[in-house]
Amino acid sequence: MPSSAPVLRPNKTEAVSSQKKDEPISYDINLPYVDVKGDSQAHTKYPKYLPSWDKVWFDPLPPFEYEDPALRVTDKSKRNLLTPGTKVSDIQPRMGSIVEGVQLNQLSDAAKDELALLIAERKVVAFPDQDLIDDGPAAQEGFLRHFGKPNYQPVSGSMRGHPGFHIIHRDGNKEEITRFLEQRTTTTLWHQDVSYEIQPPAYVMLGLLEGPEVGGDTVFSATDMAYKRLSPSLTSWLDTLRAVHSSAKMINHARLAGGLIRKDAVDTVHPLVRVHPVTGEKCLFVNGEFITKIQGLKEPEQRWLLDFLMQHVISGHDFQARVRWQPRTIVMFDNRSTTHSAIVDYLDDDNSAKPRHIFRLCALGEKPIPVYDQFE
């Protein structure tokens, strides 16, 4: 039966699409490639944290020894971190917690070790109203170095003199967001941070400098719980597979957008299922953006498997936690047992974004541990 809906045709004087061939849509709507407009300097509360581009070059990351600080904890009660004045509220029964009454910049080394254990157990932990937000980049970098070797961002906006910072800044960006939504049906981009490195991040810290009153949440999905929901017949096969993670697509997009490249593309082979060194759980190690090949599979088989696994992780709301942000909140999460996406829902009717300003620091961890040693 024909539809009764009116047929809408473009005006003859207008182009069907306003996207220009020399203006590619952003690879990631949260990833700035070029300088923000000058008026943002006056609007933001934290101008020092606006994205900038130092012309520095990073060689490939060499292998290094890593000791997870959580493995140093002997008292599982975490009495150095969770003192009597601390309040812990769980976001979801199995993952995600909000911790109040703790100032991260006052933690002892023993308390930081216990924090690593808490993050490994709960996967994502939010700390509202943190003084560390105003302590400056050197203090923030110094804090995260306790959890692992710093990662240096290869393409996106960073901070002058502090290349470990990945800066996410939105304020307006109407034309860019409109181009993006002309080609995409959603702003979500599920991923695990920097999975292409030979030793990807173990712990990640996000700090909200400024954000909308409502919106801009981040949603996390537990990859160990997602693994457990699959059948033994399927997981026994997945345990044997290896995938190629590559930063080439991200770097090529940055180059097309006129952005600065600080590092050659990295291709690394990782197990599709990794063993968490603290919890011992098996975790799906899947990434919607960085996996380019599953070894031993033909292209249609690979596409089917990745689509299935990503949809499984994305649609599993019973093993997800959604973090609602407040200014001066710091969120720390385990990058090995979660995948996540920002939610860009803080847009006006004309696709103009409300101000949102956040920084990310990554602590690199161990080389992903395969289920079977012969796949190392």
The count of other CB atoms within 10 Å of the CB of residue 339 is 26
pLDDT, residue 216, reads 82
For strand 95-100 and strand 124-127, is the pairing parallel, antiparallel, or unpaired?
Answer: parallel
Beta bridge partner(s), residue 359: 167, 207
pLDDT, residue 279, reads 97
Question: How many residues comprise the chain?
Answer: 376
Geometric angle at alpha carbon 75, from 71 and 77, rounded to 5°:
115
pLDDT, residue 37, reads 53
Residues 6+ apart with CB under 8 A from 336: 192, 200, 202, 223, 274, 276, 283, 285, 365, 368
Q: State how far the Cα of 11 lies from the Cα of 15, in Å rounded to an integer.
A: 8
Q: Map tokens 């994502």 to a residue.
A: 124
List, in order of start, the domains of the chain with CATH numbers: 44-57+69-369 (3.60.130.10)
Q: Are 215 and 316 in contact (CB under 8 A)?
A: no
Q: Are 139 and 356 in contact (CB under 8 A)?
A: no
pLDDT, residue 303, reads 95
* Grouped pLDDT means (10 residues each) for the chain, 376 residues: 43 42 50 52 80 88 96 96 96 97 98 98 98 97 97 86 87 66 73 95 96 87 98 98 94 81 94 98 93 96 97 96 94 98 76 77 97 72
pLDDT, residue 352, reads 58
Q: Are 53 and 35 in contact (CB under 8 A)?
A: yes
Q: What residue type is assigned to position 127 of the chain?
A: F
Comparing CA positions, the residue from 257, 247, 323 lying closest to residue 90 is 323
pLDDT, residue 213, reads 82
